[in-house]
Amino acid sequence: MAVAAAALGMGGVTAAHAAGQPEVTYAGSVGDDLGILQISARSGADIKTITAHLFSYASQTEVAEIGTKDFRLFSGTRQDGTWHTKKPLELTQFGSYRIDVEVTDADGGHVLRQSAGDFAYYVVAKFGALTVDRTTIDREHRDVQVEGTLYGRWPTRQVKPLAGRQVDIDVDYWTQTTVTTDARGHFTASVRLDAAAPVQAVFRMDGGTPPVLYGESEPVQIGVDQIPTRFTSTVSATDVDFGQSVTLNVKVEQKTADGWVPLGGRSGGVLFGPDDAQTDLVGRFTTADDGTFTMEYTPWQGGYFQLALDTSDDPFLQAGTGTSDVVHVHRASKFTAFTAARSDTGQVHAEGLIDFPDGWTPAWIYVHLQYSPDGVNWSTLTTVEASWGGNGNDFAADLDQNDAGYYRAVFDANDSFQSATSQTVFVPASA
C-alpha cells in the first residue's frame, strides 16, 4: 500500500512538472506606487526563487539586481501569483529600465525571460485640495480665484513640494491660463467663466528636473446664479365657441436689484393644450423692448397656453416658464326635432333628437324636459339621457304634468359644449 501511494505521488509530481514549466507573465512598476517592482509568474510547482535584473536603456548596463529575499508574495499562490518588492527600490537616476526575470520552481524548472517589462522610475505629480474663492458666478462676477499646491511623489514614497513648475488651470477641460509654483509648490490663478464649468489644476510634463509625470487635481464644479424670469399673461376670453380665436397678451420680465423689469429681445415658444402631454405648437415669439408679445390662436379643444423662454445663449438667465388661464372651447349642440303631445290617457308624452355638429359628442347627454304655463317661467319636470338611435341621439319621456301649457327640451352648456334649447310646443288641456 505504501509503495503504491508513493508511486502515485511520484507520478503526480512528474505530470505537474511536465505540464507546467515556469513562466513569467508580467513585470513592471505598480501603477500607483512606482518604486515597487512587481513580477507575475506561474509554474506547475511552487516557485522558489525570483531574480530581477534592471538594465539601462541608454547604456545597456545592469543597474540593479533584486533577489528572492527582496520579494514577498502579494497575491495568488506560489504556483500562480504576483510578487512585490518589500520596499521601494532606490536607483541613482530617474528613467525607464528594462526588466529581465529569472524564475526557478521546486522541481528545478528554470526560465530566464528577457525584456519581461519596463520599470518606470519617476516622480509623479500630486495636488493638494484645490480651493476657489467662489463656487458660483453671476453675470457681474465671473472671475474665480484658484489656489493649490503641487507636490511630487518620489519613487521612494517621499512627498515634497515641487517648486518652479508650470501648472495649467483648465476650465471645462480646456487650459485657460498657466502659472508657476513658488518655493513651497503653491500657486494662485484667476480664471473667467462664461457658464457653469469644472475648474481643475493640471500638471503636464514641462521638461524640468527631475522629470515629473502627469498629474491632476480633483475638479471643482462652479455653478451659475441665474437671474429669475417670469411671465404674466392675459387671454381675450376664457370661454369661446369652436372656431373662434383667442388673443394671448404676455409680458416677460427679469428680476433685478430694482425689482422686476421688462426683458426685451428674448425669444421663446408657446404651446396650447389641456395638459403637458397633449399640446399643439402655437408658435415662436420675440419680445419687444417693453418685454411684451401678442399671439392669436384658434384652439380646437380646451386648454391653456404654456410659455417657455429660450435662454440657451445666456446661461445667466433663468429659463422661465409660465401658463395662462384655462380657455374652454364649446362645440355646438342643437335639437333637430322635438314634439310634445297628449296621449289617449291624457298624459303628455315628449320626445326628440339632439345633434352635435362639430365632430364631438358628450360621453353622457342629459336632456331636461321643461314645462311653462305661460311660456316665460320654466320648471324642469324630468331629466333623461339621450343615446344614439340610428338617426341621431334620441330621447323620450312620459311627463308627470297634465295641465295645458308649453313644453321644451334643454341641454345645459359645459366646459366643452354649448347649450341648446328645442322649439317650444303648446299642449292644450285634455278634452
Confidence of residue 334 (pLDDT cuts 50, 70, 90): very high
How many C-beta neighbours within 10 Å does residue 143 have? 11
Tell me the average pLDDT across 371-387.
96
- At position 24, the amino acid (one-letter code) is V
For residue 401, the model assigns a pLDDT of 83
pLDDT at 4 over 70: no
Pairwise CA distance, residues 145 & 159, whole Å: 26
For residue 278, the model assigns a pLDDT of 84
pLDDT at 198 over 80: yes
Tell me the average pLDDT across 405-426.
96
Quick one: CA dihedral 181, 183, 186, 187, positive or negative?
negative
For residue 431, the model assigns a pLDDT of 66
Q: What residues does 232 pair with on adjacent strands?
A: 251
Pairwise CA distance, residues 197 & 169, whole Å: 12
Secondary structure (3-state) at 39: strand
Q: CB under 8 Å to 165, separation ≥6 — which residues?
A: 150, 180, 181, 185, 203, 206, 208, 212
pLDDT at 101 over 60: yes
Per-residue pLDDT tens for 202-240? 999 888 899 999 999 999 999 999 999 999 999 999 999
Confidence of residue 162 (pLDDT cuts 50, 70, 90): very high
Tell me the average pLDDT across 81-93.
97
pLDDT at 152 over 90: yes
Q: Within 13 Å of residue 138, how many CA atoms lie on the same side as its CB? A: 7
Tell me the average pLDDT across 363-367.
96
Q: Are 144 and 220 in contact (CB under 8 A)?
A: no
pLDDT at 17 over 90: no
Global pTM reads 0.72
Pairwise CA distance, residues 262 & 249, whole Å: 14
